[in-house]
């Protein structure tokens, strides 16, 4: 893997490589879980998925992703509704990510880390994922410092923000329907038996 760190910020930081190092560690751990022959059996499928879910939970700030995705509609919700939304939305995204990891893992050739920018408590890590068919997918992780960790609050895939994509979808749904319908739709999309 190629690692070209470009630390840009208001002031030099001894922790300049932390965002990239943490993204790399999470990615490597998930890839190792997917490649582990002991975890590939049908009997250990749910265990493998739970281990991946835990890795995602350590790196992704689900509450911020959910709040930002719901956008202007967030403030209109009660605290209980907000808590439920974070839970449902994070479970849906976890399942979506895990399905994609499992489906496309065999096509992966390499992950290259191209650089990072750190400005105060925020960072951006640019990477590209190459497939064995030589197709390159640019990815940008946007992170915020949370104690000693950098937590993802948005991901840009091919230049498209995950948060903005969901916010646009939720705005459209809520313009035509109700919040209750949105929650019911989210609940229906989560596979039965997922935590």
Evaluate whether residue 22 is within a structural domain: yes
| Domain-embedded: residue 169 | yes
Q: Residue 49 in 3-state DSSP?
A: helix
Q: Which long-range contacts (CB under 8 A, 24 or more apart) does 127-135 make?
A: 127/23, 131/104, 131/107, 132/107, 132/108, 133/107, 134/109
Is residue 171 within 8 A of residue 71, CB to CB? The reply is yes
Domain that holds residue 124: 18-189
- Tens-digit pLDDT profile for residues 127-184: 999 988 888 999 999 999 988 899 999 999 999 999 999 999 999 999 999 999 999 9
Residue 164 lies in a domain: yes
Structure tokens at 114: 């191209």
Q: What share of the chain is helix, strand, coil (3-state, %, to 5)?
A: 55, 25, 20
Kindly state whether residue 3 falls inside one of the protein's structural domains.
no
**What one-character DSSP code corresponds to residue 11?**
S
Q: Is position 13 within any domain?
A: no
CATH number at residue 56: 3.10.450.710
For 27-49, write each residue's pLDDT tens digit: 999 999 998 999 988 899 899 99
Q: Is residue 112 part of a domain?
A: yes
**Per-residue confidence band for 100, with pLDDT thresholds at 50, 70 and 90:** confident
User: Is residue 75, in this structure, part of any structural domain at all?
Assistant: yes
What is the tally of structural domains in the chain?
A: 1
Q: What pLDDT does residue 123 have?
A: 96
Let me know if residue 9 belongs to a domain.
no
């Amino acid at each position: 893997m190629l690692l070209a760190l470009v630390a840009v910020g208001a002031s030099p930081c001894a922790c300049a490589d932390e965002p990239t190092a943490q993204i790399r560690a999470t990615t490597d751990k998930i890839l190792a879980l997917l490649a582990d022959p002991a975890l590939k059996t049908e009997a250990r499928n749910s265990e493998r998925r739970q281990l991946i879910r835990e890795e995602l939970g350590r790196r992704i700030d689900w509450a911020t992703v959910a709040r930002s995705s719901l956008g202007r509609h967030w403030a209109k919700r009660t605290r209980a509704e907000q808590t439920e939304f974070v839970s449902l939305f994070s479970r849906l995204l976890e399942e979506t990510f895990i399905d994609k990891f499992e489906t496309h893992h065999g096509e992966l050739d390499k992950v290259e880390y191209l650089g990072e920018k750190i400005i105060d408590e925020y960072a951006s890590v640019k990477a590209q994922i190459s497939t064995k068919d030589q197709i390159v997918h640019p990815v940008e992780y946007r992170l915020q410092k949370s104690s000693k960790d950098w937590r993802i609050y948005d991901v840009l895939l091919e230049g498209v923000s995950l948060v903005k994509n969901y916010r646009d979808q939720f705005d459209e749904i809520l313009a035509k329907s109700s919040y209750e319908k949105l929650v019911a739709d989210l609940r229906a999309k989560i596979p039965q038996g997922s935590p």
